[in-house]
């Protein structure tokens, strides 16, 4: 919850307050839970609403550019498939030290993603929510969720490949 809240607010302290406020809201509103979604989705929807409100109140205006290409266009053939598929780097992580290094690079890379990409990849790949649940929590369409997730994953793969190489 703290990771998700952090993607909406400018500081760790504000994110912690948002998480606390969310739990208070859950405790106060649990009797009104109608079961139209999973409890987890309902909880994250409350969290996101509170975080958005706090983010608007607290955030300084920062411009985030999404001008970079996720993957070089030259990596694909005319049919849209990979010319040379990316190496499956997780299979090469053979010791704990390298796994820790990869994790640190990924955490930093996730923090550097544009806001919406960071939120989608955090909810899908870290928190394990389904695509439909992410759409419900963030109020976005399935198509938008898929595009944001693809761009985020592509950028993260590119960073890991650049950092740790292909061989």
Q: Tell me the pLDDT tens digit for each residue of 111-141.
A: 999 999 999 999 999 888 999 999 999 999 9
- Ramachandran angles phi, psi of 129, nearest 5°: -75, 155
Cα angle vertex 50, ends 129, 43, to 5°? 35
- CA-only gyration radius of the chain, Å: 18
Domain boundaries, the chain: 1-60, 85-167
Which CATH entry fits the domain spanning 85-167: 2.60.40.10, 1.10.10.10, 1.10.357.10, 3.90.550.10?
A: 1.10.10.10
Instruction: Indicate the pTM of the whole model.
Output: 0.57
Residue 88 DSSP SS3: coil
Residues 136-160: pLDDT tens digits?
A: 999 999 999 999 999 999 999 888 8
- Residue count of the chain, please give it: 167
Per-residue confidence (pLDDT) for residue 124, from 0 to 100: 92
- d(CA 37, CA 46) in angstroms, rounded, equals 12
């Amino acid at each position: 919850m703290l990771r998700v809240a952090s993607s909406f607010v400018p500081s760790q302290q504000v994110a912690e307050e948002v998480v606390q406020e969310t739990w208070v809201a859950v405790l106060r509103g649990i009797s009104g839970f109608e079961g139209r979604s999973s409890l987890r989705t309902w909880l994250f929807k409350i969290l996101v609403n509170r975080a958005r409100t706090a983010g608007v109140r607290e955030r300084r205006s920062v411009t985030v550019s999404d001008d970079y290409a996720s993957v070089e266009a030259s990596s694909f053939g005319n049919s849209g498939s990979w010319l040379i598929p990316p190496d499956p780097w997780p299979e090469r992580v053979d010791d704990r030290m390298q796994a820790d290094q990869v994790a640190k690079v990924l955490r930093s890379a996730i923090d550097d993603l544009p806001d919406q990409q960071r939120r989608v990849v955090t909810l899908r790949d870290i928190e394990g929510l389904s695509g439909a649940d992410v759409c419900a929590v963030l109020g976005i369409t399935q198509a938008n969720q898929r595009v944001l997730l693809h761009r985020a994953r592509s950028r993260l793969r590119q960073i890991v490949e650049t950092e740790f190489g292909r061989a």
